[in-house]
Amino acid sequence: MGVMLSNSDVLELLNGETAASRIRVTQKICEGYLSQIYNEEEIKLAEEIFRIIVQDVEVQVRAAMSEALKISDILPHDIAMKLAKDVEEVAIPMIEFSQVLSDMDIIEIIETSNPIKILAVTRRENITSKVKEKLLEFGNNEIIESLISNDNFAQDDESFSEFVDNIAHNSDAVKNLVQNITLPSAITEKLMSGISESLINKIKSKYDIAPNKLNKITSHSIEISILTTISSKSLSMEIDGLVNHLDHFDKLTPSLILSSLCMGRRRFFVSALAKKAGIPRANAMRLLYKGGKEGINGLLKKAGMPEKLFDAIELVMLLAEEKKREDKDISVIDFCTWLITKLEYFSERRNIDYLSYIMAIVKQSQKTSSQQAV
């Protein structure tokens, strides 16, 4: 026989006038339950007592039991769920630690949209891909950052890659993941490609669009998606890493480089030109901003950019530099809107070859960015 309650303990539990006295008895029962000193009959009795305690009017009493039983792997499911659905003070220990709760239980808790409880979910030791995906759908920065900082989020590249495969169909989850954390460039592109493939399948099943035309649409969508992961807060080494990865897989195309400029992603533009030209980024910066027309054209030519676009590229580059000084944190959509107005002004006053082509890229980038932001 285990150490059971005395008669006074029972009376105190049932009729105790203070929360402190009931907490003392509750902790005594939980200690015996967790120590596995009770026999089968005593375990059942203890669990019936737990079912009474979960209805105690005092939050402190219920919270004390939740804290004590959070690590139990034999606690009946109904008790664990009752505690997990309680007020935050009671629920948090159970949500964060209990392995009695299933994925369906955890998802049910997430769907209550209680941010404190959801944050507790992100701190769980083992979080399945299904639960991670559900968490990412919320788009809450604090929730996503807490999830990513979990030591068990992705223990290695292989497990992270597997997770990416599992959520690639969910555009909301992918968008929130990419926009809120710094990802390895290979993973970023894999995510974006996953979205595109899903989009392609949906479009093919709904509309009769020629494959070549569809490929052009989705190719540009991927470019925009990749470039929108870059912001003023992105580190230069992160941008260089993305550029190197894209170049390694022959995806650092003139189209992508031009799109980066048209979206105001100047640092990517410079890094990409330097990579294609085979020179240090610092040298590319000097050629673009201190080398005059000869320096700009020389770099663009060495990087393999179309010569017919040189004048238009130079204009956009100067305009982007102007806007950078005014607002370095401007969004892609706002930058494109501003740039369209500027290009329309210059198209009426200066004869620049292929300026209309550049304007079309800017407008398409603005449209695609707006659609992806929804």
Q: Output phi, psi for 265, to 5 deg.
A: -90, 70
Tell me the C-alpha distance between 366 and 362, whole Å.
6
What mean pLDDT, rounded, does the chain reach?
80
Per the CB < 8 A criterion, the answer to whether 233 and 195 are in contact is no
pLDDT digits (tens, 9 = 90+) for 288-318: 988 899 999 999 999 999 999 999 999 999 9
Distances (CA, A) of 118 to 5, 43, 67, 79, 243: 37, 31, 18, 20, 36
User: Domain total for the chain?
Assistant: 3
Q: Which long-range contacts (CB under 8 A, 24 or more apart) does 33-41 make?
A: 33/69, 33/72, 34/68, 34/69, 34/71, 34/72, 37/2, 37/3, 38/2, 38/4, 39/1, 39/2
Q: Does residue 16 sit in helix, strand or coil? A: coil
pLDDT of res. 211: 45
Per the CB < 8 A criterion, the answer to whether 58 and 90 are in contact is no
pLDDT of res. 337: 93
- In this structure, the answer to whether residues 228 and 298 fall within a common structural domain is yes
Give the single-character DSSP code of 39.
-
Which residue type is seen at 112? T
Per the CB < 8 A criterion, the answer to whether 224 and 196 are in contact is no
Per the CB < 8 A criterion, the answer to whether 299 and 261 are in contact is no
- In this structure, the answer to whether residues 330 and 244 fall within a common structural domain is yes
pLDDT digits (tens, 9 = 90+) for 179-227: 555 555 555 555 555 444 444 444 344 434 344 443 443 455 566 666 7
- Domain range spanning residue 301? 217-372
Tell me the C-alpha distance between 110 and 69, whole Å.
21
- In this structure, the answer to whether residues 112 and 8 fall within a common structural domain is no
Q: How far is CA 214 from the centre of its chain?
A: 27
Angle of helix 185-206 relative to helix 236-248, nearest 10 degrees, comes to: 60
- In this structure, the answer to whether residues 111 and 121 fall within a common structural domain is yes
More confident residue, 135 or 10: 135
Tell me the C-alpha distance between 242 and 227, whole Å.
10
Extract the tokens encoding 88: 């935050």
pLDDT digits (tens, 9 = 90+) for 239-279: 888 888 788 877 888 988 998 999 898 999 999 999 999 99
- The Cβ-side half-sphere exposure at 114, using a 13 Å CA radius, reads 18
Q: Which residues contact 96 (CB under 8 A, 6 or more apart)?
A: 70, 120, 121, 123, 124
Per the CB < 8 A criterion, the answer to whether 158 and 148 are in contact is no
- In this structure, the answer to whether residues 178 and 111 fall within a common structural domain is yes
- Last residue of a domain, which of 162, 194, 215? 215
- Last residue of a domain, which of 70, 97, 124? 97
Given the structure tokens 């974006």, which residue do they identify? Answer: 192
- In this structure, the answer to whether residues 90 and 151 fall within a common structural domain is no
pLDDT of res. 154: 57
pLDDT of res. 269: 94
- In this structure, the answer to whether residues 266 and 348 fall within a common structural domain is yes
- In this structure, the answer to whether residues 190 and 224 fall within a common structural domain is no
Lowest mean pLDDT, pick from 90-104, 294-308, 324-338, 359-373: 359-373
- Last residue of a domain, which of 192, 215, 238? 215
- In this structure, the answer to whether residues 259 and 194 fall within a common structural domain is no
- In this structure, the answer to whether residues 267 and 322 fall within a common structural domain is yes
- In this structure, the answer to whether residues 3 and 64 fall within a common structural domain is yes
More confident residue, 186 or 98: 98
- In this structure, the answer to whether residues 221 and 357 fall within a common structural domain is yes
Helix, strand and coil content of the chain, in percent to the nearest 5, comes to: 75, 0, 25
Give the single-character DSSP code of 72.
-
